[in-house]
């Protein structure tokens, strides 16, 4: 029953709804006592030949009115209680989704999409059942049960006590089953999550699986997981199937005891036979509330298991949050990196070390270095995807630490085009306007032009209205990158981060994009991480990263003159170009 | 667009769906019969119990006759029956549940197998969340139907028949009138089915949309947060969530209008009719009170099973809608190309011939037109051209992702269509534009499911593509965990791993799809070296953006609007001063 306490916050919020619903339920229980009573009256009148037309029609009318009233009330309590449960499910899903939107990247490195989705659908569903059927059964079994027991007690309280003797056994058994069910159901839900994960990944990676002929392997994995779900569900079913039969044994015992003891009472003359018969009839009416009681435990334990899963997910707090007293003011000005050392949470590997760097407002910084040298980390730290601990260092924009402003303020000053351009299943237009949904079409087209993707878009079947992404037109890597650049340019933020976003763009388009950036971003800061030195040749400042440290720093000319790492890389890339030119012997 | 696609799932023939679902019971016929027999036995032993009490009261209690042994026996039989009923019920319930779970397992595997064979275009057009929802959520709601709906119906119809017989025994005339109830109840059920089907469909659609939105949001969360679109996304999710809520709410309303509450109204009306009948009769002649009493009792009993069934109708309908969605995938006709015949042809030399191949995705616009070329064993054929020129389609056809319908592709002289999947996948290695990594670790990502790839091979392959140095730097090295989609690695690192994966297969033919786009120059050089080594004795079909990567190819094909407009070596093509030359100049012009 603990889950009802867990859900109390919701019941409190919807107090009127639930109280009304419960009152309506009680009214139905009371109304349902009327027709049998009327039937009894009619039969009595018939027996004594006292029935008149008027009486008959009056009685029938009462039944009719009761029936219609019951119909209306039944409908209403459903709206109240079941409607409440649907509301609860909706709110829980919203809660989960909201929670997902504040979780830091670290969370997404550990959790898998399929699992998170299973929480939002399957578990929420189980909780909804608890809040609807569970509440109904609880109220119903208590109301009906107490009405019946009270009537029985009026008939013969001693016999009532006797007939209720087996109840503690039932309570014990049902509680025990409930606990077992809870644990097993928890495992079953987790298994369901696993299979969700697998299918999710399978569908996403279908091309790789086909290309590598891994269908059988995947099938084996799937069958194993699906088997696991079945096994764990069978474990649940084993407990499931114990509830009703156990209760029917208890009911059988109750009958047995009341008849046996009742017979003794009859023999001793303390009870007449008619009353014993009536008593057993009432006992029969107790079967339903008892079964309901078992059902209640069943459903409640499932709900509790699911609620625990949802709660444990909701209880993970985001690692990156606004500091207390963080300012709303959008940071602006020179960017200063002062990092002693940084490793990703939970890892020992030092990703960045001794980074000391100032980027003047309006300047362009080029970050070059090999794969894994820490380029992306520098950008992600600026975006506060991860936070530097005080002892690790700090990043300051215009004299204010990025941790002293709100995340929202910080991010509104930064436009970011990440390494993997993420494309949403929307139109090209919506994708470019992702950060500025209210942008005018004109601005969007302009951004597309600046990002060198306008011509491509115009060739799409529906131009800017073409649906791209997961279920739309497949884009090439370069097109995705350029749409992502257009998206970030449209933001017109003070700081622009391009994380190797030009890698799949050809040289001509790259030059176009860089020229455009230079033109439209006068006085604003741009940071470009890249493999291709040519991309950042004209930057105000270039840093060369190696194993997380800056090994060289300065302008292109300066770095060139050093004859070190940069020179080396530059020569290598130049050679490459020369090799290309070798074709025409320029 | 998702919506449009989801809406195309119009409610179809539900009795056909039901029959088809029942078909899944076929293999379990004997188990099913056993379960039903036990169910009926349990119902019977349950019904006998009150009779024993009646016997006790009538024969022994009323005459105050208490023979010890007989009473003890009676008590023993009664308690025995109670326990027997319970045991039978446990067995019966368990049998049904296990049966249901097995059927669902089978259905899931069937769905999965179908997903394996379905044409790739299906996945191109269907959001991941929607597919996942069908394979897991929809099958889950069919489970309910096999678990409880069937047994509930059989059990209650049995009880119902018994009650009807009893009513006929009591009074044929009024029992005949009561038979009218059956069409009324069936009518209500049909009405419910008709009315609820579209509502259930909408609910399922909304759920699928919800899943799709969730899936996309979760995967793109980093960009959502970086662009501060959290509140907009919340709003959008909220809208779908609310639409789903409304659909569920309507469903609940319909249940309230047509199921249990209405059933009770019908009961009351019947009761009124019976009382009226007997009441009127009593004015003209004496009526049998006992019969009236029994009739009223039976009537209330009659509606209990009806109620039970009505209650299940909800699950039944939900299962039907889910089943339709599942069958829709199972019935998807566009299949991935299958091997024709049982050719034992092996790919050994690696000669690839495209012979007048034309291809269209939609059957209207040709993406490839009359493509013919030969890649001799060990040669490298490079394909260049603008986006949309059809480059990727050549690889898609070579990988047999799509069927070759016009023209022919021959590998080592054998028609591609006749080469076994195993041979094809084993010998033709693909490097995709975007590396896709699986949840697991480095080794499992390089090996995939290929047990013939030893740990040593994994290391060798990693070394070959020069991924070793970064792998060694990870904690756990070759067993360093990889999160979903390799989120913890950089693009370059992911690319290297996907290379290693291909190399571990040691293919005879390599298909490279713009694979070299996003690795830093140094790594790229290393890979170029590695590829050069690999090319010894391997045929390579490469798609490239940058002309620099294709200069030493034996044959360069310049594709334009699906046609090969130029072909030759780098030198030859430059000498021609055609399209290739222009592309070359354009690329060179920038760095001059």
pLDDT tens across B351-402, in order? Answer: 888 888 888 876 777 888 888 888 888 888 888 877 667 788 888 888 888 8
A166/A27 same-domain check: yes
pLDDT band at B318 (very low <50, low <70, confident <90, very high): confident
> Please, which residues 526-585 of chain B have a Cβ atom closer than 8 Å to chain A?
545-548, 551, 570-571, 574, 584
pLDDT band at A584 (very low <50, low <70, confident <90, very high): very low
A152/A16 same-domain check: yes
Q: Which residue is listed with tokens 């208590």?
A: A142
What is each CA distance from A522 to A335, A338, A412, A413, B102, in whole angstroms? 17, 26, 18, 15, 66
A199 to chain B, any CB pair closer than 8 A? The answer is yes
Please tell me the predicted confidence (pLDDT) of residue A485. Answer: 92
CA angle A384, A389, A390 (to 5 degrees): 120
- Under an 8 A CB cutoff, do A117 and B238 touch? no
Question: Is residue A481 situated within a structural domain?
Answer: yes
Looking at mean pLDDT, say which of A68-77, A207-216, A251-260, B269-278 comes out highest.
A68-77
pLDDT tens across A121-147, in order? Answer: 888 988 998 898 888 888 888 888 888
Residues B31, B24: Cα–Cα separation, whole Å? 13
Please tell me the predicted confidence (pLDDT) of residue B524. Answer: 65
Please tell me the predicted confidence (pLDDT) of residue A394. Answer: 93
B3 to chain A, any CB pair closer than 8 A? The answer is no
A508/A402 same-domain check: yes
Mean pLDDT of A148-177: 88
How far B19 CA lies from chain A's nearest CA (Å)? 24
Q: What is the number of structural domains in chain A?
A: 3
pLDDT tens across A501-515, in order? Answer: 887 777 778 889 999
**Domain around A376:** 330-413+495-586
Whether the pLDDT of residue A11 is over 60: the answer is: yes
Please tell me the predicted confidence (pLDDT) of residue B143. Answer: 86
A267/A209 same-domain check: yes
Last residue of a domain, one of A492, A527, A556: A492
Question: Is residue A323 situated within a structural domain?
Answer: no
Minimal Cβ distance to B252: which of A78, A222, A504:
A78
Residue percentage of chain B with pLDDT more than 90? 6
SS3 A358: strand
Minimal Cβ distance to A67: which of B264, B490, B571:
B264
A195/A279 same-domain check: yes
Residue of B nearest to A75 (CA): B256
A57/A199 same-domain check: yes
- The pTM of the full predicted model, rounded to 2 decimals, is 0.81
> Please, which residues 257-296 of chain A have a Cβ atom closer than 8 Å to chain B?
259-260, 263, 266-267, 273, 276-277, 280
Whether the pLDDT of residue B4 is over 50: the answer is: no
Whether the pLDDT of residue B13 is over 70: the answer is: no
Residues A226, B136: Cα–Cα separation, whole Å? 10
Question: Is residue A319 situated within a structural domain?
Answer: no
B123 to chain A, any CB pair closer than 8 A? The answer is yes
Residues A339, B587: Cα–Cα separation, whole Å? 39
Residue count of chain A? 586
Write out the DSSP string of B282-318: HHHS---HHHHHHHHHHHHHHHHHHHHHHHHHHHHHH
Which position has the higher pLDDT, A82 or B471?
A: A82
Please tell me the predicted confidence (pLDDT) of residue B533. Answer: 67
> Please, which residues 485-544 of chain A have a Cβ atom closer than 8 Å to chain B?
487, 491, 500, 503-504, 506-508, 510-511, 531-534
* Chain A residues with beta carbon closer than 8 angstroms to that of B501: 212
A500/A487 same-domain check: no
Please tell me the predicted confidence (pLDDT) of residue B5. Answer: 43
Whether the pLDDT of residue A17 is over 90: the answer is: yes
Mean pLDDT of A227-251: 88
SS3 A416: strand
Those residues whose C-beta lies under 8 Å from the C-beta of residue A234, and which sit 6 or more positions away, are: B97, B98, B101
- Per mean pLDDT, which range of A11-20, A221-230, A366-375, B464-473 is the poorest? B464-473
Q: Is B382 left (phi over 0), alpha (psi -120 to 50) or beta?
A: beta
Question: Is residue A336 situated within a structural domain?
Answer: yes
- Under an 8 A CB cutoff, do B89 and A245 touch? yes
Residues B384, A584: Cα–Cα separation, whole Å? 18
- Under an 8 A CB cutoff, do A511 and B590 touch? yes
Cα–Cα nearest to B142, from B223, B23, B234: B23
> Please, which residues 36-65 of chain A have a Cβ atom closer than 8 Å to chain B?
39, 42-43, 46-47, 49, 51, 53, 56, 59-60, 63-64
Best residue in B222, B276, B474, B502 to probe A by mutation, most A CBs within 10 Å? B222
Residues A475, A509: Cα–Cα separation, whole Å? 16
A32/A102 same-domain check: yes
Decide: B175 and B291 in contact? Cβ < 8 Å.
Answer: no
A95/A216 same-domain check: yes
Question: Is residue A130 situated within a structural domain?
Answer: yes
Q: What is the mean pLDDT of chain A?
A: 86
Q: Which residue is listed with tokens 């699928």?
A: B208
Please tell me the predicted confidence (pLDDT) of residue B438. Answer: 84
A295/A336 same-domain check: no
Please tell me the predicted confidence (pLDDT) of residue B531. Answer: 67
- Per mean pLDDT, which range of A180-189, A355-364, B569-578 is the poorest? B569-578
- Under an 8 A CB cutoff, do A212 and B505 touch? yes
Residues B140, B135: Cα–Cα separation, whole Å? 9
Which position has the higher pLDDT, B411 or B530?
A: B411
Mean pLDDT of B256-278: 88
Whether the pLDDT of residue B10 is over 60: the answer is: no
Best residue in A203, A294, A459, A544 to probe B by mutation, most B CBs within 10 Å? A203
pLDDT tens across A379-430, in order? Answer: 989 989 889 988 999 999 998 999 999 988 898 899 888 877 788 888 899 8
pLDDT tens across B326-338, in order? Answer: 888 888 887 777 7
Residue percentage of chain A with pLDDT more than 90? 29
pLDDT band at B11 (very low <50, low <70, confident <90, very high): very low
Best residue in B490, B494, B496, B560 to probe A by mutation, most A CBs within 10 Å? B490
CA angle B148, B151, B153 (to 5 degrees): 105
Residue of A nearest to B486 (CA): A109
Domain of A23, CATH number, reads 1.20.1560.10
Best residue in B136, B276, B529, B561 to probe A by mutation, most A CBs within 10 Å? B136
Residue B500: both structure tokens together: 């290693």
Minimal Cβ distance to B439: which of A112, A280, A503:
A112
Question: Is residue A478 situated within a structural domain?
Answer: yes
Question: Is residue A246 situated within a structural domain?
Answer: yes
- Under an 8 A CB cutoff, do B215 and A200 touch? yes
* Chain B residues with beta carbon closer than 8 angstroms to that of A469: 216
Please tell me the predicted confidence (pLDDT) of residue B118. Answer: 84
> Please, which residues 24-43 of chain B have a Cβ atom closer than 8 Å to chain A?
none
Please tell me the predicted confidence (pLDDT) of residue B514. Answer: 64
Please tell me the predicted confidence (pLDDT) of residue B588. Answer: 61
Chain-centre distance for alpha carbon A335: 36
Minimal Cβ distance to A212: which of B78, B245, B448:
B448
Dmax (CA) for chain B in angstroms is 122
**For residues A468, A473, A474 and A479, what is the CA-based torsion angle, rounded to 10 degrees?**
-60
Question: Is residue A227 situated within a structural domain?
Answer: yes
A230 to chain B, any CB pair closer than 8 A? The answer is yes
- Under an 8 A CB cutoff, do A425 and B2 touch? yes
Please tell me the predicted confidence (pLDDT) of residue B53. Answer: 79
Whether the pLDDT of residue A468 is over 70: the answer is: yes
Domain of A428, CATH number, reads 3.40.50.300
* Chain A residues with beta carbon closer than 8 angstroms to that of B505: 212
Which position has the higher pLDDT, B590 or B426?
A: B426
Residues A204, A114: Cα–Cα separation, whole Å? 11
Complex-level ipTM: 0.84
Please tell me the predicted confidence (pLDDT) of residue A528. Answer: 93
pLDDT tens across B100-157, in order? Answer: 888 888 888 888 888 888 888 788 777 777 788 888 888 888 887 787 788 788 878 8
pLDDT band at A586 (very low <50, low <70, confident <90, very high): very low
Last residue of a domain, one of A280, A314, A348: A314
Q: Output Rg (C-alpha) for chain B, integer angstroms.
A: 35
- Under an 8 A CB cutoff, do B517 and A478 touch? yes
Whether the pLDDT of residue B213 is over 60: the answer is: yes
How far B367 CA lies from chain A's nearest CA (Å)? 13
Decide: B336 and A210 in contact? Cβ < 8 Å.
Answer: yes
A97 to chain B, any CB pair closer than 8 A? The answer is yes
- Per mean pLDDT, which range of A403-412, B190-199, B471-480 is the poorest? B471-480
Whether the pLDDT of residue A259 is over 70: the answer is: yes
Whether the pLDDT of residue B1 is over 60: the answer is: no
Write out the DSSP string of A219-243: HHHHHHHHHHHHHHHHHHHHHHHHH
B517 to chain A, any CB pair closer than 8 A? The answer is yes
Written in H, E and C, the secondary structure of A154-169 is: HHCHHHHHHHHCCHHH
> Please, which residues 415-454 of chain A have a Cβ atom closer than 8 Å to chain B?
415-416, 418-420, 422, 424-425, 434-435, 437
* Chain A residues with beta carbon closer than 8 angstroms to that of B44: none
Best residue in A420, A527, A575 to probe B by mutation, most B CBs within 10 Å? A420
Please tell me the predicted confidence (pLDDT) of residue B249. Answer: 92
- Under an 8 A CB cutoff, do A103 and B221 touch? yes
Last residue of a domain, one of A314, A348, A368: A314
pLDDT band at B591 (very low <50, low <70, confident <90, very high): very low
A263/A394 same-domain check: no
Residue A78: count other Cβ atoms within 10 Å of its Cβ.
Answer: 22
A402/A535 same-domain check: yes
Residue percentage of chain A with pLDDT more than 70? 97
A408 to chain B, any CB pair closer than 8 A? The answer is yes
Which position has the higher pLDDT, A314 or B2?
A: A314
Mean pLDDT of A493-500: 90
Q: What is the mean pLDDT of chain B?
A: 82
Mean pLDDT of A431-454: 90
Whether the pLDDT of residue B7 is over 50: the answer is: no
Please tell me the predicted confidence (pLDDT) of residue A472. Answer: 57
Minimal Cβ distance to B102: which of A230, A424, A573:
A230
Q: Is B475 exposed, middle or buried (0-12, 13-18, 19+ CB in 10 A)?
A: exposed
Mean pLDDT of A520-542: 88
Residues B322, B141: Cα–Cα separation, whole Å? 7
Task: Name the strand (E) or helix (H) holding A301.
Answer: helix A273-314
> Please, which residues 234-293 of chain B have a Cβ atom closer than 8 Å to chain A?
234, 237-238, 241-242, 244-245, 248-249, 252-253, 255-257, 260-262, 264-265, 267-269, 271-272, 275-276, 278-280, 282-283, 287, 289, 292-293
């Amino acid at each position: 029953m603990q889950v009802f306490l867990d859900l109390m916050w919701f019941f409190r919020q919807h107090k009127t709804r639930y109280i009304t619903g419960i009152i309506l339920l009680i009214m139905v229980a009371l109304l349902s006592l009327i027709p049998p009573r009327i039937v009894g009256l009619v039969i009595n009148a018939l027996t004594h030949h006292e029935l008149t037309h008027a009486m008959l029609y009056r009685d029938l009318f009462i039944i009719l009115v009761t029936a219609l009233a019951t119909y209306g009330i039944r409908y209403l309590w459903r709206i109240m209680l079941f409607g409440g449960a649907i509301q609860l499910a909706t709110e829980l899903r919203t809660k989960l989704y909201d929670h997902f939107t504040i979780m830091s990247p670290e969370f997404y490195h550990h959790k898998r999409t399929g699992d998170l989705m299973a929480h939002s659908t399957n578990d929420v569903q189980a909780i909804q059942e608890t809040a609807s059927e569970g509440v109904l059964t609880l109220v119903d079994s208590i109301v009906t049960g107490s009405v019946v027991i009270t009537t029985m007690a009026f008939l013969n309280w001693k016999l009532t006590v006797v007939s209720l003797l087996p109840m503690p056994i039932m309570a014990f058994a049902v509680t025990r089953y409930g606990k077992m069910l809870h644990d097993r159901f928890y495992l079953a839900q987790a298994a369901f999550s696993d299979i969700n994960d697998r299918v999710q990944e399978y569908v996403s990676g279908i091309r790789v699986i086909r290309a590598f002929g891994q269908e059988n392997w995947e099938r084996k994995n799937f069958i194993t997981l699906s088997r696991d779900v079945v096994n764990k569900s069978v474990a649940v079913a084993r407990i499931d199937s114990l509830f009703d039969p156990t209760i029917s044994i208890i009911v059988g015992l109750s009958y047995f005891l009341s008849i046996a003891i009742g017979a003794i009472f009859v023999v001793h003359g303390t009870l007449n036979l008619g009353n014993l018969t009536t008593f057993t009839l009432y006992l029969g009416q107790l079967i339903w509330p008892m079964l309901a009681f078992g059902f209640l435990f069943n459903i409640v334990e499932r709900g509790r298991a699911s609620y625990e899963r949802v709660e444990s997910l909701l209880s993970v707090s985001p690692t990156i949050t606004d500091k207390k007293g963080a300012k709303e003011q959008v940071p602006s000005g020179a960017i200063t990196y002062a990092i002693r050392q940084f490793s990703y949470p939970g890892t020992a590997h030092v990703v960045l070390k001794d980074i000391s760097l100032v980027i003047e407002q309006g300047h362009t910084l080029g970050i070059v270095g090999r794969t894994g040298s820490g380029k992306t980390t520098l950008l992600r730290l600026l975006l506060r995807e991860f936070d530097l601990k005080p002892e690790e260092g700090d990043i300051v924009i215009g004299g204010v630490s990025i941790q002293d402003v709100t995340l929202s303020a910080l991010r509104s000053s930064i436009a970011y085009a990440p390494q993997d351009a993420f494309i949403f299943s929307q139109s090209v237009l919506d994708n470019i306007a992702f950060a500025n949904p209210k942008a005018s079409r004109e601005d969007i087209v302009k951004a597309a032009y600046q990002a060198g993707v306008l011509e491509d878009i115009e060739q799409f079947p529906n131009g800017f209205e073409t649906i791209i992404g997961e279920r739309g037109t497949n884009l090439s890597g370069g097109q995705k990158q350029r749409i992502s650049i257009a998206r970030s340019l449209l933001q017109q933020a003070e700081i622009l981060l391009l994380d190797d976003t030009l890698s799949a763009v050809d040289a001509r388009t790259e030059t176009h994009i860089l020229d455009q950036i230079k033109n439209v971003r006068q006085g604003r800061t741009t940071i470009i991480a890249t493999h291709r030195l040519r991309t950042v040749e004209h930057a105000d400042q270039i840093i060369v990263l190696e194993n997380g440290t800056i090994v060289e720093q300065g302008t292109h000319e300066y770095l060139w003159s050093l004859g070190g790492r940069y020179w080396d890389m530059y020569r290598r890339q130049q050679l490459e170009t020369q090799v290309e030119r070798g074709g025409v012997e320029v | 667009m998702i919506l449009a696609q989801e809406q195309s799932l119009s409610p179809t023939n539900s009795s056909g769906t039901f029959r088809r679902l029942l078909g899944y019971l076929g293999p379990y016929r004997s188990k099913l019969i056993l379960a039903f027999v036990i169910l009926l036995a349990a119902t019977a032993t349950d019904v006998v119990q009150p009779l024993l009490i009646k016997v006790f009261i009538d024969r022994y209690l009323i005459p105050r006759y208490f023979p010890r042994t007989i009473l003890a026996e009676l008590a023993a039989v009664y308690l025995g029956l109670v326990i027997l009923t319970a045991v039978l019920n446990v067995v019966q319930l368990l049998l049904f549940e296990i049966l249901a779970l097995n059927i669902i397992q089978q259905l899931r595997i069937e769905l999965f197998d179908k997903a394996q064979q379905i044409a790739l275009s299906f996945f191109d057009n269907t959001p991941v969340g929607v597919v996942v929802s069908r394979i897991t959520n929809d099958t889950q709601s069919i489970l309910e139907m096999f678990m409880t709906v069937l047994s509930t119906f059989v059990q209650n119809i049995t009880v119902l028949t018994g009650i009807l017989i009893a009513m006929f025994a009591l009074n044929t005339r009024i029992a005949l009138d009561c038979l009218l109830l059956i069409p009324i109840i069936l009518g209500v059920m049909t009405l419910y089915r008709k009315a609820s089907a579209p509502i259930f469909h909408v609910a399922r659609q909304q759920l699928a949309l919800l899943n799709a939105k969730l899936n996309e949001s979760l995967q793109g969360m980093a960009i959502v947060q970086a662009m501060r679109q959290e509140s907009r996304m919340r709003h959008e999710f909220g809208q779908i969530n609310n639409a789903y809520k409304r659909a569920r709410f309507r469903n609940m309303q319909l249940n309230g209008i047509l199921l249990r509450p209405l059933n009770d109204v019908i009961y009351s009306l019947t009761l009124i009719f019976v009382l009226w009948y007997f009441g009127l009769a009593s004015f003209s002649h004496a009526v049998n009170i006992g019969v009236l009493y029994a009739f009223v009792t039976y009537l209330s009993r009659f509606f209990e099973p009806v109620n039970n069934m009505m209650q299940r109708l909800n699950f039944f309908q939900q299962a039907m809608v889910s089943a339709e969605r599942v069958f829709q995938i199972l019935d998807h006709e566009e299949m991935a190309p299958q091997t024709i015949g049982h050719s034992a042809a092996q790919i050994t030399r690696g000669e690839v011939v495209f012979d007048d191949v034309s291809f269209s995705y939609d059957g209207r616009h040709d993406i490839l037109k009359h493509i013919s070329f030969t890649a001799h064993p060990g040669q490298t054929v490079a394909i260049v051209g603008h986006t949309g020129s059809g480059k990727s389609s050549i690889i898609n056809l070579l990988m047999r992702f799509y069927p070759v319908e016009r023209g022919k592709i021959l590998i080592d002289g054998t028609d591609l269509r006749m080469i076994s999947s195993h041979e094809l996948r084993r010998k033709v290695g693909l490097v995709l534009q975007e590396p896709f990594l699986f949840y697991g670790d480095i080794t499992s990502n390089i090996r995939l499911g290929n047990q013939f790839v030893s740990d040593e091979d994994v290391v060798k392959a990693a070394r070959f593509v020069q991924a070793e140095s970064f792998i060694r730097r990870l904690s756990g090295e070759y067993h360093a965990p990889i999160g979903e989609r390799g989120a913890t690695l950089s693009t370059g690192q992911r690319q290297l791993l996907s290379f290693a994966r291909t190399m571990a297969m040691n293919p005879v033919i390599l298909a490279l799809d713009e694979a070299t786009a996003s690795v830093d120059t140094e790594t790229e050089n290393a890979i170029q070296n590695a590829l050069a080594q690999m090319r010894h004795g391997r045929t390579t079909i490469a798609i490239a953006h940058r002309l620099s990567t294709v200069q030493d190819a034996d044959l360069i094909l310049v594709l334009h609007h699906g046609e090969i407009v130029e072909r030759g070596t780098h030198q030859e093509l430059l000498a021609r001063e055609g399209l290739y030359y222009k592309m070359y100049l354009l690329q060179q012009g920038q760095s001059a």
